Amino acid sequence: MAESLGQGFADGWLKAFQAFQNIDIGNLASLAPQSEAQMLKFSPEKLQQLQAGYLEEAAQLWNQALHSNLPLKDRRFKAEAWSNNPLASFNAAVYLLNARTLMAMAEAAEGDAKTKNRIRFAVEQWMAASAPSNYLAFNAEAQQKAIETKGESLAQGVKNMLHDLQQGHVSMTDESLFEVGRNVATTEGAVVFENELFQLLEYKPLTAKIHERPFLLVPPCINKFYILDLQPENSLIRYAVSQGHRTFVVSWRNPDQTLSGKTWDDYIEDAAIKAIHTVQDITGSPQINALGFCVGGTILTTALAVLAARGEQPVASATLLTTLVDFSDTGILDVFIDEAMVRFREMQMGSGGLLKGQDLASTFSFLRPNDLVWNYVVGNYLKGETPPPFDLLYWNSDSTNLPGPFYAWYLRNTYLENNLIKAGKCTVAGEKIDLGKIDIPVYIYGSREDHIVPIGAAYASTQVLPGKKRFMMGASGHIAGVINPPEAKKRSHWVRADGKFPKSVDEWIAGAQEVPGSWWTDWAAWLKGHAGKQIAAPKSYGKAGKYKASEPAPGSYVKVKA
């Protein structure tokens, strides 16, 4: 039997070699839209090199498999069950060789940058999905566990799958262990204002004196605000309060059909600007400081431009965390954006409707398919495991809907046409906006490994906003780079002492110095310089008469599921 099985592998390999030698480039080109595929070409010399390299590596792999165990460096195949099973390890090694070769072919394609990016993305998705570790018939580790548990792991895997089908998404953590307001989003505060789009939360001071200029945080509306308040030890909100700032946060409503007609203008006028004016009214301060995170930063910047067009400057300084203002470089998300896609969304929901939160969450998960999709498919279903508790992944699964008109306007005017940076191009809330009129101090933060807001895209705001600026680059990605409290003593950040902002981020980095640890302390020192003198902390929330505390933080809006 072993001999016939070995002969079967040999026959299969001969067929694979022949298939690769006669590969039809049109098959790879078909991963792009037809109009782009017709423009896609390959250099015959590069293709011959790839074919020759593939045959050489395949021959070495076959010879090595006959005499010793195959080294599998990919973490999906690290368990001993793979190395102890020659057929499984050989199958994994073949997959890795094919993956490397297909990615090399994607890199060798001759075409415009967008087409190449789409080919690369499609190949990555294909190879991530086709890994032998994703299928019980080929996963040696899952098979071994099924034998050791006498099938219990398979039974549990089926239960996990049925549970996830019912809840509508793959479990990344044990969601039953978390509850908003009980063990996430626990910083003490109260709701002091609400309308149909948001609740305004005010937090209880942790210091006897506070700065006279209050502080407003505008989180992204594509997910929930408590990413900034997961646990007391990693809460940016609690950190701001502890630094003596009277702190307010916008908690977005999770839209249902009653909000399906809301527009970008509504979110600017009735949410961002309303929140700014409400904080002014509550505190009596003529100016406040504000922070925007991700899409919240884009919303805040747009609101400031509208206010500037009206001759108002209620915000003394702004902080932008991993924010896109100039959408010239949108990273991997660019593969989804073109005129046809945007026009389809406009037809589908531009006049009303909802973009389901789970659709948006799935899109972001598949930007990192091995880490955020297939890893949990294998663990939950093939091995019958329950993922460990992790507050960040609980938040990641707590998705939020978006109104269709808001989403359609955002796609066209930012990702597709990059209109925000074109003075007078956009009319928002009745005003032609010009970001060049936002002449206030700005602290701009970008994460070095961010795949959603590339570091160059975050840095691009320095070339658009005219006021005095400080740019900070942190290590890690879109979330982990931002949520990096000083006490953790993790990761580095980079600063540039000369205050210069060359055109490219690479030039800026070349002149920057690495500093160990969190960037939060640098930002806190900067914000303190714009926060004004110390005054006595308020004894109660809101303002007597007009803005009374209606319910404890984190409020009710954040608890609504998509």
pLDDT digit string, tens, across residues 213-249: 999 999 999 999 999 999 999 999 999 999 999 999 9
Of the pLDDT bands very low, low, confident and very high (cuts 50, 70, 90), residue 405 is very high
State mean pLDDT over 246-254.
Answer: 98
List Cα–Cα distances, 301 to 113, 297, 434, 435, in angstroms: 29, 6, 10, 8
- Residues present in the chain in total: 562
pLDDT tens digit string along 148-162?
999 999 999 999 999
Q: What is the pTM of this model?
A: 0.90
Whether 18 shows a pLDDT value over 70: the answer reads no
CATH entry, 189-356+399-559, from 3.40.190.10, 3.60.20.10, 3.40.50.1820, 3.40.50.620: 3.40.50.1820
Q: How far is residue 139's CA from residue 142's CA, in Å, rounded to a whole number? A: 5
Structure tokens at 412: 């066209």
Q: Which residues fall within 8 angstroms of residue 162, CB to CB, at 6 or more apart?
A: none
β-strand pairing of 513-516 with 534-536: unpaired
Structure tokens at 454: 């590339």
Q: How far is residue 510's CA from residue 501's CA, in Å, rounded to a whole number? A: 11
Structure tokens at 133: 């570790």
Q: How far is residue 523's CA from residue 319's CA, in Å, rounded to a whole number? A: 9
State mean pLDDT over 76-82.
Answer: 94
List Cα–Cα distances, 465 to 156, 435, 560, in angstroms: 54, 6, 36
- Sequence spans of domains, the chain: 2-148, 189-356+399-559
Q: How far is residue 476's CA from residue 517's CA, in Å, rounded to a whole number? A: 12
**Phi and psi, residue 116, nearest 5°:** -65, -40
Instruction: Give, as one character, the DSSP assignment of residue 371.
Output: I
Residue 221 appears among annotated catalytic residues: no
Structure tokens at 56: 């050489």
Residue 5: per-residue pLDDT: 33
Torsion, CA 114, CA 118, CA 121, CA 126, rounded to 10: -170
Structure tokens at 62: 């076959």
pLDDT tens digit string along 492-542?
999 999 999 999 999 999 999 999 999 999 999 999 999 999 999 999 999
* Averaged confidence pLDDT in the chain: 91
The count of other CB atoms within 10 Å of the CB of residue 462 is 21
Instruction: Give, as one character, the DSSP assignment of residue 385.
Output: P
Whether 34 shows a pLDDT value over 80: the answer reads no
Check if the beta carbon of residue 230 is closer than 8 Å to that of residue 285.
no
Q: How far is residue 295's CA from residue 322's CA, in Å, rounded to a whole number? A: 9
Q: How far is residue 430's CA from residue 296's CA, in Å, rounded to a whole number? A: 20
DSSP β-bridge partners for residue 315: 288
Q: Where are the alpha helices (DSSP H) in 413-550?
A: 455-459, 505-510, 520-528
- Distance from chain centroid for Cα 550: 32
Whether 109 shows a pLDDT value over 50: the answer reads yes
**Phi and psi, residue 341, nearest 5°:** -65, -45
Set 31, 79, 250, 294: catalytic member: 294
Q: Which residues fall within 8 angstroms of residue 55, CB to CB, at 6 or more apart?
A: 17, 20, 21
